[in-house]
Amino acid sequence: MHKRNRLFVSIALVYGLLGGLIAIVRLIDPSLIPGNVPRAHGHIMLLGFILMTIYGIALHVLPRFGGFPLYSEQMADWQLYLANAGLPLMIAGWLGWRDMLVMVGGALTYGAIVLFGLNMILTVRAGGRGRVIPVQ
Amino acid sequence: MKIELIVSGVCPFCLEAEKVWRVAAADHGFEFVVLDIAQPEGAALAQRLNLQTVPALLIGGVLRAVGVQSPEEALTLLHSPRQEAHDRMQQMGFAFSPDNRWFILTAQVYLMLAGLGLLMNSSFLSDNAARPAFMHLFTLGFMLFMIYGLASHMLPRFTGNPIREGSWPWLQMGLAHCGVIGYAAGYLAGRHTLIVVGAVLTWLSLAIFAFRVWPVLWPEEA
C-alpha cells in the first residue's frame, strides 16, 4: 500500500479521535472550547475521519478493481496536501470565529475533492493508460 | 512460527484451504497470514518463489505444499511446539472474520433504525431534541461500524501486515455498541450523563480500533 494512502488512513484516525474528543469536552462543559464547536466537530468527523479514510482506501483499491493504474500519483499527492491544509484552516476558522479562514480552508478542501474526483474518473473509466501488471 | 497461505481471488479452492489452515493454525497457536497474489506483497512472494499454483503454503517462510490439504494432512505438516497464547494470535482472513462480519451486519441494523427514526421524528424537516440521536445512529452506528468492519478486513490484505486480533475486536465492538446505544438513548430520554457516557465509550472503541490498525499501516520493521 502506497505510503501516501497509508498516511491518509492514519491521519483519518487522528482526526477521528480528535473530533470525538472535542465533542466529549463540549458535552461535559460547553465553555471549555470556544467557537462553533458542533460545526467543527461535524466537519472533523466527516472531512477528516470519513473522507480521508475513503481517500486512502479508494486510492488503493479503485485502480485495482478498475484494472488500470492510478491516473496521476501527483494529483493524489497534491490531494493529500490540500486536504490537510484545508481542514485545519476550517477548524481554526470555526473555533476562532474567523470566516475568512473557513472560506480559504473550504476552498483548499474542495480542491482536494476535485483532484480526487478527476483522478478517479480518469482512472476507472474504460480506456485508461494500461492494465495493471497481471500476476498468474 | 508463521503460516502463510498464498491465495487468489479467482481461485475456487483457496477458501477451502484457508478454512483448513485457519483451524490448524488456531489449534496450534500459530500466526496465520493470507496473502493475495493480486496485492503487491503476495505478488512479490509468488514471484520470488516462482509459484505457478495457488493455494500455496509456507511454514516458517519455507514453501511446504500447494493445493488444498485435509485437516489430517495439515496436522502432519505441523510438527511444532504449541504456542502459549492463542488469544494473542494475529491473523488476517481471506473471508470476513466473525468480528468483522458482525460489524457489517449490525451496521445495517443501525442504518435502518436511523432512517426509521429520522422519518418518524420528522427530523428531515426540522431540528428537534431527538435529531442528534438518529443522526448519530447513522454516523456512528452505520458509518463507523462499516469502517470498523471493512477497514479491519481490507487493510491487512492491502498492506500484508497482520492486525491485532484476540479479544481486542470484541472489546472494541462491545464498547461501540454500548456507546452508540447509550448516546442515542441519552438523547431520547433527555439524560445528559448517559449521552456523555455513550460518547466516551464510542471514543474508546475508536481508540482501540486505532490501536489495532496502526501496526497494520506502520509495522515496526518498515
The conformation of residue B87, written as its DSSP 8-state character, comes to: G
Q: What is the pLDDT of residues B155-168, one digit of tens each?
A: 888 888 888 888 99
What architecture does CATH give domain B2-92?
A: 3-Layer(aba) Sandwich (3.40)
Q: What is the pLDDT of residues A42-86, one digit of tens each?
A: 999 999 999 999 999 999 988 877 777 888 899 999 999 999 999
Rounded CA gap, B27 and B22, in Å?
A: 9
ipTM for the whole complex: 0.83
Best residue of B41, B51, B140, B217 to probe chain A, by most A CBs closer than 10 Å = B217
**Residues of chain B found within 8 Å of residue A60, distances taken between Cβ atoms:** 158
In a domain, A45, yes or no: yes
CB-CB under 8 Å, A23 with B199: yes
In a domain, A88, yes or no: yes
Residues with Cβ within 8 Å of residue B164, at least 6 apart in sequence: B90, B211, B212, B215
- Segment B65-83 shows an average pLDDT of 75
* Three cell numbers, residue A93: 476558522
The whole domain housing A75 covers 3-124
Query: B175: phi > 0 → left, psi -120 to 50 → alpha, else beta; which?
Result: alpha
**Residues of chain B found within 8 Å of residue A17, distances taken between Cβ atoms:** 203, 206-207, 210
In a domain, A134, yes or no: no
Task: Identify the closest residue of chain B to A5 by CA–CA distance.
Answer: B217
Q: Which of residues 57-76 of A touch B (CB under 8 A)?
A: 57, 60-61, 64
A53 Cβ under 8 Å from any chain B Cβ: yes
Neighbouring CB atoms inside 10 A of B101's CB total: 14
Number of domains in chain A: 1
Rounded to 5°, angle at Cα B100 from B179 and A113:
80
**Residues of chain A found within 8 Å of residue B159, distances taken between Cβ atoms:** 1, 6
Q: Are A79 and A115 in contact (CB under 8 A)?
A: yes
Q: What is the pLDDT of residue A23?
A: 94
**Residues of chain B found within 8 Å of residue A21, distances taken between Cβ atoms:** 203
Confidence class for position A130, pLDDT limits 50, 70, 90: very low
The conformation of residue A70, written as its DSSP 8-state character, comes to: -
Residue carrying the nine cell digits 500476476: A135
